[in-house]
Amino acid sequence: MIQPDFVFRGHQAAVNSVCFFSDDRLLVSGDQDGCLIVWNMMLKRQLAKVTGAHTAAILSVCGLGTDTVVSQGRDNKLCIWALDASEFSGELRLIRTLAVDSMNFCKFSYATFQGTSWIVFLLGAGAGEACLLDVSSGEQNSLDIGHQSRTKAGSRDDLPMCIKLVASAGEDRDSQELELFVGYESTMLRQFLINVSDTKMPAALRRSVTTAHSEPIMSLDYDSQRQLVYTCAADNKVCCYAADGSRFKEHAAAVELKNPGSSEIRCFSALDLVAVAGWDYATHLLTSDLVPTASIAFHRAALTSIDVSALSTAGADGIADEYVRQRWNSRSRWMAVASRDSRISLWDIDHTIASAARSCGSADA
């Protein structure tokens, strides 16, 4: 069995979310008990920790820039934290709390657009009401992403299950646009164009499709280079769609994993990689065209979250020692995988893919 390069063990409960930030120098994670931890990736140790950051489970976390952390909890709070840190220690200081609807487990999403950090989160899942937040100014705009699904009993509110905010090249390729992708309980996928200067109607529906899933969409991601949307669900399918005028079209045939249930899907253009966190304890790796390449089983419980480092060299500017700076710039590309077994595994993704391919080759032989 392939083993990870490192395992973070600081959590005492199921880890629900992980995210690299600060040019890969930091990793933030949140768990089922409401504990929030920031890790120093150079030293592989805790930098800052808040026990009871939320009074219920943390659903999602992210880092913005070098000194801001955002967390969302099942206590229906979105918390923004300031990180004051040196190389060996740090402190998370709560600077703002916002009301959010976390009852259907829909996680917030974030993007940088025109030099500003933006966050989208749900205010009322049943009504399809979301909020667009300018993190710097605190200004908020309401977004209508509501949808009615048709059932045998009639129309009903279609709950948004996952959202993805994306700053991408416009369809004319000469401008940048802010877009929001939404996956629904009915398996519908919809794409909205966000106009940050229009306070009356900032979200305009661009295209939609009923996906091939048979269960609610649990997670989605967007490849801005290839302009592809990837989805996973409570069923065993992984789907991929491309824009086609006013609708989506299937880019590649849906892939069926061995077991049903996926928590999160992430795509990484530079690696031609799609990674899926499975309820079956395995990380499923596929190409951008949904060709399966490997399934990695290490954890002892369902996986919840995946992130891959960006391999940015910008963070090296703050490293005084030249030898350490050179080591950092030649580091591996990491994949962090969170699990309900309270652990976060860290993988050299290039080495992992190669090892998995050799293992599959040996098994076939």
pLDDT tens digits along 50-69: 999 999 999 999 999 999 99
Give the bridge partners for 45, in sequence order: 40
Q: For residues 100 and 76, is the Cβ–Cβ distance under 8 A?
A: yes
Give the chain's count of helices (H) and strands (E).
2, 30
Helix, strand or coil, per DSSP, at residue 315: helix
Report percent pLDDT > 70 for the chain: 92
Q: Which of 261-265, 295-299, 332-336 is predicted with the least confidence, judged by mean pLDDT?
A: 332-336
DSSP letter at 354 equals: H
Phi, psi of 361 (to 5 degrees): -65, -40
Q: Does this model's pTM top 0.75? A: yes
Label residues 115-124 b or e (16+ Cβ within 10 Å = b). Answer: eebbbbbbbe
What order do you get walking across the sheet with 217-223 strand by strand?
A: 160-169, 176-184, 188-194, 203-210, 247-256, 237-244, 228-233, 217-223
CA distance 61 to 182: 19
What's the gap between Cα 185 and its chain centre? 18
Higher pLDDT, 200 or 228: 228
pLDDT tens profile 67-96: 999 999 999 999 999 999 988 899 999 999
CA distance 356 to 42: 26
CA distance 70 to 110: 10
Label residues 277-288 b or e (16+ Cβ within 10 Å = b). Answer: bbbbbbbbbbeb
Question: Is a pLDDT exceeding 70 seen at residue 267?
Answer: yes
Supply the pLDDT for residue 364: 43
CA distance 129 to 318: 42
Supply the pLDDT for residue 170: 64
- Residue at token pair 């106009």: 195
Residue 42 burial (CB < 10 Å; 0-12/13-18/19+)? middle
Residue 91 burial (CB < 10 Å; 0-12/13-18/19+)? middle
Q: For residues 136 and 206, is the Cβ–Cβ distance under 8 A?
A: no
- Residue at token pair 């923004």: 80
Range 115-142 average pLDDT: 94
Supply the pLDDT for residue 10: 96
Question: Is a pLDDT exceeding 50 seen at residue 363?
Answer: no
Among positive and negative, which fits the CA dihedral 289, 294, 298, 299? positive
